[in-house]
Chain A
Amino acid sequence: MVEVTDSLGLVLEGEVLTVYIPGLTAALPFLVKARANKGVETIPYGALPLVSGETLPTYDGGSATVPAAGVIPARAYTDSAKTFPLTGAYDATDMWYYPADYNERLFHVIQEVTPAFLKCDIQIPKGVKPYRFQRDKVILGIGTEPFGFSRGRTEVVHLPEIRYGYRWGNETNVPLYTSVKFTYAEYIVETVKDAETIFNILTRRLPSYWITLPVFTREETVVNALIKAYGITGFPIYPPYKKTQAIAEYNNLIRQVKV
């Protein structure tokens, strides 16, 4: 078994990161050429971006007021997704947002929330609930839905031109102080541009680290962002017995790739 990640779970230089988008049934394999923040991968961000006085819905059907900055009230959840402010970032209201002309960069972000039993989900793009059950019969997430969330940890790749929304929920009867730690890599990448290699990666014959983004429907915001940043929406997944068809399509797509 070839290790393609380090002890932090971040992809090593020279290895391939495959970003799979289920809603498009396509994947983008990126060669990690370098890591711009090697050795300093941790951000002790601080409290969750909850503002004192803001009102959140509760699991009991009412609402609750955030009593102090970063405190999640008892039984409350963030129905409207949040971003993480950072002074000096490209967008000071959203530290993980970056534009299409930064397309040689890719951010691999692991969020670890304290307390770890808080419900977590991520909306891509912000405002779109990602998880569904039986097509669209049940829309899922950290709200009053019965499932469709993780606890205390999320892992995504932030793609350019797309604003992601983070949400959390507190099922306990206690208002809780919170904090978040990010472990991240700012990769310097290029798209893998050899059709045979792409086919071998996407059929898992070559090792790569796969991240499946929680985008389970075709979102035009995501499509437009991918085309603007990379020129394509990704390479479609083919089974091993359709190699000829796959290689032909991949060669066409490679000619449109921007980075």
Chain B
Amino acid sequence: MIAQYIRVGSIDEGLKVLEEHRPWGRVLAGGTDLLPKTRTARHKRSLPLVLIDIKRIDELKGIQMKEGRLCIGPSTTMSQLAGSELVLEYAPVLSLAAGQVGSPEIRNRGTVGGNLGSKNTGADLLAPLAAMGALVEVRAPGGTSEIPVRDLLAAGWQGLGRSSLITEVRVPVNRQVTWGYRRWSRESMGRAYITALAGLEPRGDDRSCRFTAVLGGPGLWPRTFECQARPGELSGQEPMLELCSRAAAEIFAAAGGAGGDYQFQIGRVALAEALELAAGEVGQ
């Protein structure tokens, strides 16, 4: 049940109120992930949640370039992210990923911070941000830290929105890499069952490329595979599928099998489709 609603005006106030209401405090941003969860039978019966609304904290809003990095406020909605001219210029794959989340109604409320803090390993922004080497600034009562997104699972993910706040997402800009993103869901508007990123960075005069593959999904924290791809491996659908099958196999092996053969099969195909998108941009 939602026992209390508190609106805060600053990051410090938010952290103070979270601390005061431990363990029942939950950060409320867009609410598109949190509010449905409060309607499960377990929540209704036994958890007296205190929702702490951070939407009006100015420091958490906005998108800007700072020192060569795209800096995104966690209160940025998916619609704002998808439509941002800065994002389209410097990190278009984030716009592509954000624009596929849910529906326009969900995207008008759901936020970047909420997507990262949703405890859903298939969240649409996790794989692209991990692939791009993004960092999140996290503030907790004990201090501030900057954590690579790809390390977030082991480094405080569970505490996000309960004892700590994401205060900024920082994305290094590398215009040499072109990215393709594909998500696959078992139902319309559903959470992604697979999120697949493919990145190509031209290297050398022989038209070979540095190939980066990231796969994520339920039970599969986004994992990265990298290799040097020869032109022949990028020369058509069949060689790309073969390359992506190899990448997916290594990712799933490293993840201890994750969702099993079904998730692997979907993953390798989604990755190949993402690679076709990236290759189209590179002009391969």
Chain A partners chain B: no
Binding site for A on B (CB under 8 A): none
Binding site for B on A (CB under 8 A): none
